[in-house]
Structure 1
Amino acid sequence: MTTAEAEILDELESELRAEGVRITRQRMAILAALAGSTDHPTAEELLARSRERDPSVSLATVYRTLSVLVESGTVLRNDFEGAGARFELANKPHHDHLIDLDTGDVIEFTSRRIEKLQEEIAEELGYDIVFHRLELYGRAKKKV
């Protein structure tokens, strides 16, 4: 485990403790799986990764732990069409998502042009953007 992953793990553990959740071996395995994620895993994928650390982790424990972390704002639940619920840490820098409709892959991207255009549109309509989420759905172009 890298230093960055260890710091994330400590933060996640603190969030659960602040919510009054007892920290168990199984929950630590789930937190470690989240801390080490570089993708957008499903609950089932987190279960498999957690079981690599502790085979006694149950799907119910994964769901309960995710529920607390989502409620506290530490973890984001993304409900992508065609890809189901995916989870990611909330402390990542802002980004948008492209979801591959054929594979379910979730690709993170950032675009200054899109961000600027959104700000311009909000300004024209008399609004300040507080939060936004952009999801693009597509299929990879066939190579000719």
Structure 2
Amino acid sequence: MDTNDEMIKIQNCMHDAGFKLTFQRQAIVKVLLDHHQEHLSAEEIYIELLKQSFSFGLATVYRTLDILTEMNLLTRVSFEDGIARYDLRTEDRRHFHHHLICTQCGKTVEIHQDLLIDVEKLVAHQYHFEVSDHRLTFLGLCADCQRKKALGDVSHR
């Protein structure tokens, strides 16, 4: 992913919607781009900004996240911990990606294939409902936790 290209796309989208990509907003978007494989909370974004010697407040981070979410450039996600986390939509802006979440260690893996195209068509046809997005989360044990569990089961025999 070219972060400069993504920053320009975001700037253009914001401009088209009547918003400016201010210095503060640009810094927040840069943190999201730099950590695009993670799902950062507003507080984690704020901490990253502090590490980079930015001194604007947490409220600015929340306002920017709200704007980006309203513009569908960012998706607010809540996992098992109940904390709102944010994911920048950089590839296909039509659909959000899916997640595998380990209930043991909390590891999150993203699935970028769209697994629900047929389900969307069925919903549209059968229920006369225009789907704009969908989300799918699988909960279970990752490979590492499965191995640890198997080793633990063996040692207790």
Deviation at 1:66, TM superposition (A): 0.4
The residue that corresponds to 1:99 in the other structure is 101
- Which residue pairs with 1:30 in the alignment? 28
* Structure-1-length-normalised TM-score: 0.75
Q: Percent of pairs identical after alignment?
A: 31
CA distance in 1, matches of 2:16, 2:53: 24
Aligned counterpart, 2:54 = 55
Unaligned ranges ≥5, structure 2:
152-157
> Over aligned residues, Cα RMSD in angstroms?
2.9
Provide, for residues 82-128 of structure 1, a one-character-per-residue CA deviation record: whole Å limited to 9, x for no partner: 2521111223345311123344332112567x5477468x37x8357
For 1:111 and 1:17, the matched residues in 2 are separated by 30
Cα deviation, residue 45, structure 1: 1.5
In structure 2, how many angstroms separate the alpha carbons of the residues matched to 1:22 and 1:110? 30
Matches within 5 A, 1:1-144: 4-37=2-35, 38-93=37-92, 94=95, 95-110=97-112, 114-115=115-116, 118=119, 122=122, 126=126, 130=131, 131-139=133-141, 140-141=145-146, 142-144=149-151
Q: Is the 8 A contact 1:15 1:69 kept in 2?
A: no
Q: Distance between the aligned counterparts of 1:116 and 1:16, measured in 2?
A: 29
User: Larger Cα Rg: Structure 1 or Structure 2?
Assistant: 2
Task: For 1:105 and 1:83, locate their aligned partners in 2 and report how far apart those are by CA, in whole Å.
Answer: 15
TM-score by length of 2: 0.70
